[in-house]
Amino acid sequence: MRILFMGTPDFAAANLKAIYESGEEIVGVVTTPDKPRGRGMVLTPSPVKAYALEKNLNVYQPLTLKDGAFLDTLNELKPELIIVVAYGKILPSYVLDYPKYACINAHASILPRYRGAAPIQRAIIDGESETGVSIMKMDVGLDTGDVILINKVSIEKDDNFEAVHDKLVVAASEGLIEAIKRFEDGTVSYTKQGEDFTYAEKITKQDCLIDFDKDACAVHNQIRGLSPIPVAFTKMSDGKILKVTKSHTSPTDFTGESGEVVSLDGGIFVKCKRGTVVLDEVIPEGKGKMSAASFINGRKIAVGDILG
Note if the bond before 112 is cis, omega within 30 degrees.
yes
Q: What is the mean pLDDT of residues 147-172?
A: 98
Q: Which listed CATH number (1.10.3720.10, 3.40.50.170, 3.40.640.10, 1.10.8.60) goes with 2-200? A: 3.40.50.170
Distance between CA 112 and CA 143 in Å, rounded? 8
Q: Is pLDDT above 90 for 37?
A: no
Distance from CA of residue 100 to its chain's centroid?
A: 30
Pairing of strands 261-263, 290-291: unpaired
Residue 122: pLDDT over 80: yes
Gap between the Cα atoms of 157 and 247, Å rounded: 11
pTM over 0.85: yes
**Band of the pLDDT at 296, cuts 50, 70, 90?**
very high
How much is the pLDDT for 171? 98
Measured between alpha carbons, how far is residue 189 from residues 137, 148, 183, 185 in Å? 10, 6, 9, 12
Q: Identify the architecture of domain 205-297 in CATH.
A: Roll (3.10)
pLDDT band of residue 38 (cuts 50, 70, 90) is: confident
Provide mean pLDDT across the span 197-201.
Answer: 96
Question: What's residue 40's pLDDT?
Answer: 81
Compute the average pLDDT of residues 49-64.
97
CA–CA distances in Å: residue 260 to residues 38, 177, 273, 275, 303? 36, 50, 10, 12, 8
144-156 confidence digits (pLDDT tens): 999 999 999 999 9
Q: What is the pLDDT of residue 10?
A: 94
What is the three-class DSSP state of 293? helix
Distance CA 44, CA 34 (A): 5
Are the beta carbons of 253 and 276 closer than 8 angstroms? Answer: yes
Structure confidence at residue 241 as a pLDDT band (50, 70, 90): very high
Shared fold status for 2-200 and 205-297 = no
Q: DSSP code of 306?
A: B
Q: How many angstroms separate the CA atoms of 248 and 299, rounded?
A: 22
Q: By the 8 A CB rule, do 233 and 241 touch?
A: yes
d(CA 72, CA 159): 45
Helix (H, G, I), strand (E, B) or coil at 95: helix
- Write down the domain spans for the chain: 2-200, 205-297
Please tell me the total number of residues recorded for the chain in this structure.
Answer: 308
